[in-house]
Chains A and B, each alone.
Chain A
Amino acid sequence: MNFDFSEDQRRLQAEVRRVLADYSTSPNVRAVLEGRTLYCAETWRQLAALGALGVALPEAQGGVGLGLLELCLVAEEAGRALAAVPLLSSVYLAAEALRRAGSPAQQALWLPRLASGEVIGTAALAAAAHRISTAPPPCRVGDALTGTLHALPDGMAAEICVVLAGGELALVELNGPGVTRQALSSLDPSRPLARIEFAAAPATWLPGDGAATARAVTLGAATLLAFEQIGGAEAALYMARDYVLQRRAFGRVVGGFQAVKHKLADIYTKLELARAHAYFAAWALASDAPELPRAAAAARVAATAAYTLAAEEGLHLHGGIGFTWEMDCHLHLRRARWLGQIIGNEHLWRDALATALIEEAA
């Protein structure tokens, strides 16, 4: 039994970590946070140069020909470094949808450019279960697409978008006719959202059962996001740990107080639980196991809980200084919230987990 990543995979992870430490710095992430750029282009270029964007894509389509396990470790490092890049949109969603279900022409046209980072993609793969706005979602009219996406990640930066419309997947060029985009200010501006209106926007359609593809890609994205979340949670945990070891009050370091120690132990425990479920989901994803629906849902719920706790309590453990703009605590707080509900919130996924368990029990 080796319920762990291999040494080669760990080496790749270490390489990604090193590069992100150099490029996904706090000032670079804040350039996106403060709206000076749509994403951290230098970080994106460096990830592309490492092959990290195409790590799960076949070599024939410009990828590296490794697999989803390697992509999980890229995700963990991106989470740790608060990378302000369109990994979810372009790599976990758009490229994965095209890799799984694109026509040969669609794959040949887009996958090499997604792998090189030259083109950014995004996707809307779920009929939103939770909605505030009432404008109708995209639907197919002839070969074109009409309707509204209310909060599309990287909607301004992306060139193409894969959209689930009535059980089919459309591929739309966002710079083309019939598309109106509007940047939205949001709670985590380091990962920008946009409102997109399609008015008879020309689309090409992915062959096959679009709903099934969307579901498979979404389970993969849940797994990959869980790795981003555990990376972020671990960063927030150790940032708080380092701070309480240095901050003194009442004549000693505050890290010596049991209330503080137990809070950090609680974060660690939630993180290790999330890590265990994330590894299981990675295994299920990479080996196409029938356990994937419950494994991915469990990873998503556990990782959301872990990052939320680590970000909230990590800020709290810093005391007043943690509540300043200058400290990175709020970057984690914002990112944990964003990652925790961008492809459906914790409640939705917890219920999906219950459904999967009940189906397995039947």
Chain B
Amino acid sequence: MNFDDTPEEAAFRAEVRAWLAANAQPRRGREDKFGAGLDKPQYLAAAKAWQARKAAAGYAAIVMPKEMGGFGGTPAQQIVYNQEEAKFLTPDRVFEVSLGTALPTVAMWGTPAQKVKYLASAFRGEHIWCQLFSEPSAGSDLGNLRTRAARDGDGWVINGQKVWTSNADIADYGILLARTDWDQPKSKGLTMFILDMKAPGVEVRPIRQASDEYHFSEVFFSDVRIADADRLGPENDGWKVMMSALMKERFSLGENFSGDLYAQLIGLAKQVVWGERPALEDPRVRAGIAETYLAQFGVELIVRRGMSAISRGQSPGPEMSAVKLIGARAFQTGGALAIELGGAEGLVAAEALGAQWRLPQLLWLAAPGARIAGGTDEIQKNTIAERVLGLPGELRTDRDVPFRALEG
């Protein structure tokens, strides 16, 4: 049992570290961000320039085969690269969907022509991708989606609506799941397409979240044309293509759900006074800090177990499914504990209260979304119960019914 690199990993880490040191700025603190002070177009330009430099060095798509424009490396090398890059100022989120799910799906299901047309340029950051899956009536029950793709000559015409699409406002392309056969049961009549986000009839409207941020959009389709050459995978096999896209997320093991909120809580509870004593001396506050640590560092440890499996050339085990359940809930309770510390004054926004309150407030506001996005708590529990513990699936009355009969 150890946390050490294998000799190969250590050599790769040294190489990556040297390249990053020569090409990026080290991250100096929690508030230190890539592209601070840039407006959105400038930020995007800087992010794309960074991606191009990363691609030239071979690090843009480490696990992709070389013939597709990748590095031909291992998942363990991808993890080593991610760990090292996190110590430097690099763009956040912009290429997450592109590299994490959309392009791996194109690489897996695309025709030779699609791979040539789309992959290498996207690895170089010339294009940003999004994934167009969820709909207003198809969240947890994704198979219920209603966006229609109708045959029209040698192409398709798309009508309908997607929602909760990350990066739709900046994306050049998206992978789009639409219904092509209404006489088949819900998940059987779906097909995956590659959509040009600039095509006529595509309209993107950002969503103002409950947290007053804008990370997602609604996307509307009015008679949008897609050539059959941009169908991704076989007709009516879209569910299988979509599942393989979601499987690709296994390399992002849930690191986003770890963190050091507990350490920040210690700092804040030292500063806040309860009665005449620092709040940090109150046993309930100390218990809350300990519980926040148990959840957040626990997530980090579970992720390390997943990484160890990858490092051994195995797949991460089922314990990974617990990560989001534990981590998202810790944002909510840990964030609330921080805000609660100051009583009425704790309700004042960080801009007026002090920068040290920014992250706890942000986490608390973001937590409800984290408990929903990417599989709600309830879906995660069903997954654990069914896939890990072998309990029966939910009763489904709609599984074998033609989708047309379910409408209304």
Binding site for B on A (CB under 8 A): 1-6, 69, 237, 241, 244-245, 252-253, 255-256, 258, 260-262, 264-266, 268-269, 272-273, 275-277, 279-280, 282-283, 286-287, 294, 297-298, 301-302, 347, 350-351, 353-355, 357-358, 361
Contact = CB atoms under 8 A, between A and B. Distances in A.
Contact of A264 (B2, B287, B380, B389): B389
B67 interface: no
Contacts of A269: 322, 325-326, 384
B289 interface: yes
12 contacts: A1-B5, A2-B308, A3-B2, A4-B1, A237-B389, A241-B389, A268-B388, A275-B319, A276-B301, A279-B305, A298-B293, A354-B287
Contacts of A358: 266, 280, 286, 289
Nearest to A286: B1
B376 to A, nearest CB: 12
Q: In this complex, which of A244, A272, A283 has the most chain B Cβ atoms within 10 angstroms of its Cβ?
A: A272
* Chain B contact surface mostly: helix
A301 B391 contact: no
Given A272-B302, A351-B283, A255 B1 contact: no
Contacts of A258: 378, 382, 394
Given A1-B304, A1-B307, A357-B262, A261 B298 contact: no
B312 interface: yes
A272 B21 CA distance: 37
Given A264-B385, A272-B322, A358-B280, A5 B1 contact: yes
B386 A261 contact: yes
A241 B266 CA distance: 39
A69 B385 CA distance: 30
A180 B303 CA distance: 52
Interface of B: 1-5, 9, 262-263, 266-267, 280, 283, 286-287, 289-291, 293-295, 297-298, 301-302, 304-305, 307-309, 311-312, 319, 322, 325-326, 378, 380-382, 384-386, 388-395
A241 B391 contact: yes
B326 A268 contact: no
Given A1-B2, A4-B1, A258-B394, A276 B385 contact: no
Contacts of B283: 351
A190 B5 CA distance: 44
Contact of A301 (B267, B290, B305): B290
A354 B289 contact: yes
A4 B302 CA distance: 11
Nearest to A298: B294
Contacts, number: 147
Contact of A1 (B286, B291, B308): B308
Given A262-B378, A264-B385, A357-B262, A256 B290 contact: no
Contact of A273 (B302, B385, B388): B302
B312 to A, nearest CB: 7
Contacts of A261: 381-382, 385-386, 389, 391
A245 B1 CA distance: 36
A182 to B, nearest CB: 34
Contacts of A268: 322, 384, 388-389
A280 B301 contact: yes
Contacts of B287: 347, 350-351, 354
B391 A255 contact: yes
A3 B314 CA distance: 13
A309 B380 CA distance: 19
A354 B305 CA distance: 24
A149 B4 CA distance: 44
Given A269-B322, A361-B263, A3 B3 contact: yes
Contacts of A287: 2
B340 to A, nearest CB: 17
A181 to B, nearest CB: 36
A66 B391 CA distance: 39
A251 to B, nearest CB: 11
Given A261-B382, A351-B283, A283 B2 contact: yes
Contact of A272 (B291, B319, B393): B319
Contacts of A298: 290, 293-294, 297-298
Given A279-B301, A354-B289, A1 B3 contact: yes
Contact of B311 (A1, A69, A244): A1
Given A279-B1, A358-B266, A265 B294 contact: no
B275 to A, nearest CB: 19
A35 to B, nearest CB: 36
Contacts of A361: 263, 266-267
A361 B265 CA distance: 11
A273 B295 contact: yes
A262 B1 contact: no
Q: In this complex, which of A266, A277, A357 has the most chain B Cβ atoms within 10 angstroms of its Cβ?
A: A357
Contacts of B1: 2-6, 69, 279, 282-283, 286
Contacts of A351: 283, 286-287, 290
B92 to A, nearest CB: 25
Contacts of B394: 256, 258
Contacts of A262: 378, 381-382, 385
A361 B293 CA distance: 12
A265 B322 CA distance: 9
A345 B214 CA distance: 46
A118 B305 CA distance: 39
A288 B260 CA distance: 24
A207 B23 CA distance: 57
Nearest to A273: B298
B308 A4 contact: yes
A272 B381 CA distance: 13
B266 A1 contact: no
Nearest to B292: A357
B382 A302 contact: no
